[in-house]
Amino acid sequence: MLLLLRSLTLALLLVLVSTLGLVLCLLRPFHRNNVHYTAKVFGAVAPILGLKVIHRGRRGDGEPVVYVGNHQNNFDLFTHTGSVPKGTVSMGKTSLKWIPFFGQLYWLTGNILIDRGNRSKAVRTLKQAAEKIRGKSLSVWIFPEGTRSRGRGLLPFKTGAFHTAIQAGVPIVPVIASDQQTINLNRRNNGVVIVETLEPICTKGYSKEQVRELAEEVYNRMKQRLEELNCEAMRLAGAKPALA
């Protein structure tokens, strides 16, 4: 019963928020803060899922950066979003635009669509993202795993986000959400998810030939912090860590 109720509520909220968001975006299409305001609304939905989300760490100081986050599942829409600062757009696959309501909202808010199946188009999109960062002082939020991890831990990173940061000459800012694979819409209490924005990682001095080195440095920092946050989130939720 709880599953049905939550599913219907989420569906109605998605339609409502997308419709109101579309109206806002039609009044000011591609505005630099459209993504921030719609993200705040989606982030406010977390309690309906029986979920407590703790946001902490650096939220942006006006200087453009490339945010890199871990991509777990569809619940990212309600966890990561509360940490999206003003002046930030995200990068997502082109197929998102075909999702009714949400896809049109995603495009009109000013997010960047990338065709990962076409290398030349993808490279052009990454170059355009770097130009937006420099020319419009925008930050870009990218999920470097390129797909949902679905309980497999932090997957290997693709290098697009790091090419963009090096080209734009801006820092990388990792954003880590603790494990959310156990969220069950049929359970009243889904525990705690911690979303932490880490300290910036400078990209100055890196060349395009060193992009893999940069990606590995960021990956190692995020992997270590993810493990720490998972343990902390379980303690806060009153759960016992599983034995190895």
pLDDT digits (tens, 9 = 90+) for 103-145: 888 988 989 999 888 888 888 999 989 998 999 999 999 999 9
pLDDT digits (tens, 9 = 90+) for 148-171: 898 889 999 999 999 999 999 999
Tokens of 232: 């902390």
**Cα torsion through 117, 119, 121, 127, rounded to 10:** 130
If pLDDT is split at 50, 70 and 90, which confidence band does 61 have?
Answer: low
With a threshold of 0.75, does the pTM exceed it? Answer: yes
Residue 54, CB-side half-sphere exposure with 13 Å CA sphere: 16
Residue 90 has pLDDT above 50, yes or no: yes
Choose among 140, 36, 30: nearest CA to 86. 36
| R_g (Cα) of the chain, nearest Å | 18
The topology (CATH level 3) of 2-237 is Glycerol-3-phosphate (1)-acyltransferase (3.40.1130)
The domain limits of the chain are 2-237
DSSP 152: S
